[in-house]
Every structure is written in C-alpha cells, then in structure tokens.
Amino acid sequence: MVEKNKIKVEKLNLFYGENQALHGIGLEIKNNSIVALIGPSGCGKSTFLRTLNRMNDLIDSVRINGNIYVDGQNIYGQEMDVALLRKKVGMVFQRPNPFPMSIYDNIAYGPRIHGTKRKAVLDEIVEKSLVQAALWDEVKDRLHKSALGLSGGQQQRLCIARLLAVEPDVLLMDEPTSALDPISTLKVEELTQTLKEKYTIIIVTHNMQQAARISDYTSFFLNGELIESDQTDKIFTAPTDQRTEDYITGRFG
C-alpha cells in the first residue's frame, strides 16, 4: 500500500516585514506519521509549524508566498475557511494553557463552539478525549474541579485532550514537553505513539533523544532553510549534509 501524503509544502517563503524567516521550504508529510522538526533556536522551526494552520496570519507584518496543501487543498487559497482549518490542524503549545474552568468544560469548550449542546453527547466526547489523551483514569473523579489544579504534565495532556475533542486530523506540537519533568515527558511521548495510529503529528523539539525516540521522519532546519529531511534513523546515523551531522553531534546549536 502506498503511503499517502497528508501535507505537501511547496516553495514556502515567509517574511516578517523585510526580514525573511523561511526560504523556499519544500516538504511532504505522510499520513499517520510523526515528523520531528529539529534545529537551533531561531532557525524557523516554530515559524514553519505555525504556517501549517495559518497561526502566522495573526501577526500583522507577516507575508507568505508558496503553497501548502492539506489533503490536496491549498490552505492559503481564497476559499479556505481558516476556522475549519484550525479545527482540522490543531496546535499544542510549549507551555500548558488550560482555560480557567473545570476539566470537563475545557474539553467540552470546542464541541460547544461547533454546535454540540446535548449533555449526553458532550459527556461521551469528554470521556473519549480524556481516554485518548491517557488522562481519564487520573481525572474521572474530579471532572468538575478546576483544570488549574492539575500538575503540569496533566495540564499538557488535558490540552491534547481538548484538541482531540474537536476531531482534528493533524496535531502540531511546539516543544510540548520542554516545561515538563522527565516522567511527564515520557507520558506525552508514549501518548504520541498511540495517537499516530489516528493522527498525523508534527513536533518541534530541541531534544535530539526525543526526536530519535518518537519520530518516523526528521527535518533539520538552519537559518530559515530546510537542510535535510528523511527517515529519522537515516538522519541520525547517516545524514547526507555535513551541517546536519554537525548539529546532531553537538558541534553547534
């Protein structure tokens, strides 16, 4: 069976005012895979990640040219509904950002906005999302308590569950474990392995070991350019570009 591309990026350039942050990025991302974006700080990883659900549209000075296709549809085309795009391609941020409301209401928030009102349906969505995020057993007896009372690792998994509740196709993760302790980090990493059966996951990480552990493919960014992208084991054992090898072996970055 031929693996289908979920996302195709062609000749993507991004400018902050006069400053060019991304240079001619081309990348294909396969369905139900985990892609790690690596590279030193300020190299364009997070900027690129945010182009995939048009989060950069929220910054006044940003100008973008090139094409990004999700399931064959150009997300920068005029007919694209950006609200629907962000439902389909959701984002998990570096620091957990639960809403100041109950655990239940955090998860139900998105479905309610999209028109789901029946309590029985919301109950089912909340349980299913928390089960998928490996959090249900830890919080099922405190669903109506404040989400702010959860630990950092639990809050991050809650944010993942909140995303899953609106049934996305793609999960964007911007250093989702950088603020977490090692045990919480491991839980999130294990979670990604389960989630990729149903979703396509693109994760920005500064942690080389994490990229090697959890991703199927790795893309190395440097100074706004995509230097190399390949299967993770090849990137880490036999990269084709010397700059990739220098970064992975700690010579810079």
The answer to whether residues 52 and 7 touch, using CB atoms and an 8 Å cutoff, is yes
pLDDT of the residue at 3: 52
Token pair of 186 as six digits = 């491991």
Q: How confident is the model at residue 100 (pLDDT cuts 50, 70, 90)?
A: very high
Average pLDDT, the chain: 95
Residues in contact with 234: Cβ distance below 8 Å, sequence separation at least 6, in sequence order: none
The answer to whether residues 46 and 35 touch, using CB atoms and an 8 Å cutoff, is no
How many angstroms separate the CA atoms of 225 and 64, rounded? 15
**pTM greater than 0.75 (yes/no):** yes
Q: How confident is the model at residue 240 (pLDDT cuts 50, 70, 90)?
A: very high
pLDDT of the residue at 4: 80
Nearest CA-CA partner of 31 in 83, 85, 70, 76: 70
Q: How confident is the model at residue 2 (pLDDT cuts 50, 70, 90)?
A: very low
Q: How confident is the model at residue 252 (pLDDT cuts 50, 70, 90)?
A: confident
How many angstroms separate the CA atoms of 253 and 97, rounded? 28
**pLDDT tens-digit profile of 107-127?**
999 999 989 999 999 999 999
Classify 99 as helix, strand or coil. Answer: coil
**pLDDT tens-digit profile of 54-98?**
999 989 999 999 999 999 999 999 999 999 999 999 999 999 999
pLDDT at 244 exceeding the cut of 50: yes
Token pair of 174 as six digits = 């911007």
Residues in contact with 72: Cβ distance below 8 Å, sequence separation at least 6, in sequence order: none
**pLDDT tens-digit profile of 25-62?**
999 999 999 999 999 999 999 999 999 999 999 899 99
pLDDT of the residue at 214: 97
pLDDT at 1 exceeding the cut of 80: no
Q: What CA–CA distances, in Å, run from 62 to 7, 20, 50, 55?
A: 22, 10, 12, 10
Of 3-7, 140-144, 226-230, give the lowest mean pLDDT range: 3-7
The topology under which CATH files domain 5-93+167-248 is Rossmann fold (3.40.50)
pLDDT at 190 exceeding the cut of 70: yes
pLDDT at 241 exceeding the cut of 80: yes
How many angstroms separate the CA atoms of 160 and 92, rounded? 7
How many angstroms separate the CA atoms of 126 and 123, rounded? 5
Residues in contact with 37: Cβ distance below 8 Å, sequence separation at least 6, in sequence order: 45, 48, 49, 202, 203, 204, 205, 218, 219, 221
Instruction: Name the CA radius of gyration of the chain, rounded.
Output: 18
